[in-house]
């Protein structure tokens, strides 16, 4: 579904991705783990057309994403929940959700999906008239995911959804991600610092180091790989 072939990308003079190679199949949850600065977020940003790709190709459902701008990438069916949530603080919860459905014009469908988000995250329903900036971190993360769901994406790019959240909230969010994958068939590419949580959720994983994939395989296999255990799971 999503395929990256020796992708090089970076900011200004600095090259962050040095030949990233990965693919995601329809219906999977795939995770990308690695240390800070390994290029996980940059990979997602390259897919979304925000970071300029210098060489290599990215294709989605067989179509090349080269030269597309981020809103054009979105219109192909990719939704991106970036790091730090980036809620529109002075828009209400409802307005934030509606912005997620910007490219859709089926108003009844949008209303239905908003209800669906409220049933996934009831707390958002209670606060739908509140400004985004007044929500707590966990609620903002829920809103960010809900906003992405409203685009009805076939592929969801999730960047660090657990960052700075209480364990209980993290659990809620991850169970919703699993539910979306199981019930709606949404494919998920998950970037996560918490490698254990990520590998528990995903079926496959890639390990990224200094802009390259250094290990890949089914989650179960990575969970038992001694190198991964030592570097990322923090136990012997």
Partner 1 sequence: MSADRGIRDRALHAARLVLLVLLVSSPLVWLKLERAGDETRDRLAFNWERASGLLHALPWILLVLGAGAALGFFLSRFKGAIASAGDRVRQEARKLAATRPRRAALVALPFVLLVLFPFLPPHLSKESQLSVQNYTNVVVFITIYATLAVGLNITVGQAGLLVLGYAAFYEIGAYSYAIIAQPERGEHGLVLAIPLAIVASATLGLVVGLPSLRLRGDYLALVTLGFGETLRYVIRNLEDLTGGEMGLSIPDRAKPPTLMLSSYALDRQLSVLVGTSILLALCISTTARIQRSRVGRAWLAIREDELAANCMGIASRYYKLLAFVLSAIWAGLAGVAYAGQVGFVSPKSFEFDESILILSMVVLGGMGRIGGAILGAVLLYTLKWVLQDKFSEYTDYKNLVLGAIMILLMVFRPQGLLGSAQLAQELKGEEASAPPPAAAPALSQGAAP
Partner 2 sequence: MSEDFQAFLSNLPQAIANGLVRGSIYALIALGYTMVYGILGMINFAHGEIYMIGSYAGIIAVAALSTLGLGGMGGPLSLAVVLVLSMAFAMLVSGSIGFTVERIAYRPIRGAPVLSPLISAIGMSIFLMHFVMVAQGKDYKQFPIPLHDKLVVTVIKIGTPSLGSWWPEGSVELTLLDLLTLAAAFGLMVGLYVFVNKTKLGTAMRAVAQDKTMAGLLGIDIDKVISVTFVTGAILAAAAGVLITIRLSQTFYTAGYIAGMMAFTSAVLGGIGNIPGAVLGGLVLGLAEDITSTYPGGSDWKVVVSFVVLLACLMFLPRGLLGERVGERA
Short-list 3, 2, 177, CA closest to 77:
2
Least Å distance, CB 203 to partner 2, is: 25
Q: In the range 101-120, which residues lie near partner 2 by CB under 8 A? A: 102-103
Radius of gyration of the chain (CA): 17
Residues 6, 25, 26, 52: which binds partner 1 (CB under 8 A)?
52
Contacts with partner 1 by CB under 8 A: the residue count is 31
Q: Is 198 exposed, middle or buried (0-12, 13-18, 19+ CB in 10 A)?
A: buried
Question: Cβ distance 143 to 87 under 8 Å?
Answer: yes
**Site for partner 2 contains 88 (CB under 8 A):** yes
Taking the least distance from each CB to partner 1, the nearer of 95 and 209 is 209
CA 102 to chain centre: 19
Could you tell which of partner 1, partner 2, none binds residue 99, using a CB distance below 5 to 8 A set by kind?
partner 2
State the minimum distance, in angstroms, from the CB of residue 101 to partner 2: 9
What distance in Å separates the CA atoms of residue 156 and residue 153, rounded to the nearest whole number?
6
Give the binding site for partner 2 (CB under 8 A): 48, 50, 69-71, 74-75, 79-80, 82, 84, 86, 88-91, 95, 98-100, 102-103, 147, 151
């Amino acid at each position: 579904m999503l395929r990256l072939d020796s992708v090089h990308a970076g900011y200004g003079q600095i090259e962050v991705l040095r030949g990233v190679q990965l693919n995601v199949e329809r219906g999977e949850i795939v995770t990308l783990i690695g240390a800070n600065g390994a290029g996980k977020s940059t990979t997602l940003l390259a897919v979304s057309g925000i970071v300029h790709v210098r060489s290599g190709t990215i294709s989605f459902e067989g179509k090349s994403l080269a030269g597309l701008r981020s809103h054009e990438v979105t219109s192909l069916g990719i939704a991106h929940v970036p790091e730090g949530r980036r809620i529109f603080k002075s828009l209400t919860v409802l307005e934030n959700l509606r912005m997620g459905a910007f490219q859709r014009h089926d108003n009844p469908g949008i209303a239905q999906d908003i209800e669906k988000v409220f049933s996934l995250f009831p707390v958002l329903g209670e606060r739908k008239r509140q400004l985004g900036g007044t929500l707590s971190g966990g609620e903002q993360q829920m809103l960010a995911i809900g906003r992405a769901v409203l685009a009805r994406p076939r592929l969801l790019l999730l960047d660090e959804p657990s960052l700075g959240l209480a364990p209980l909230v993290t659990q809620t969010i991850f169970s919703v991600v699993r539910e979306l994958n199981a019930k709606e068939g949404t494919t998920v590419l998950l970037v996560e610092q918490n490698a254990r949580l990520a590998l528990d959720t995903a079926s496959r994983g890639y390990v990224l180091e200094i802009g390259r994939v250094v290990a890949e395989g089914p989650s179960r296999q990575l969970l038992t790989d001694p190198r991964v255990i030592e570097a990322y799971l923090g136990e012997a």
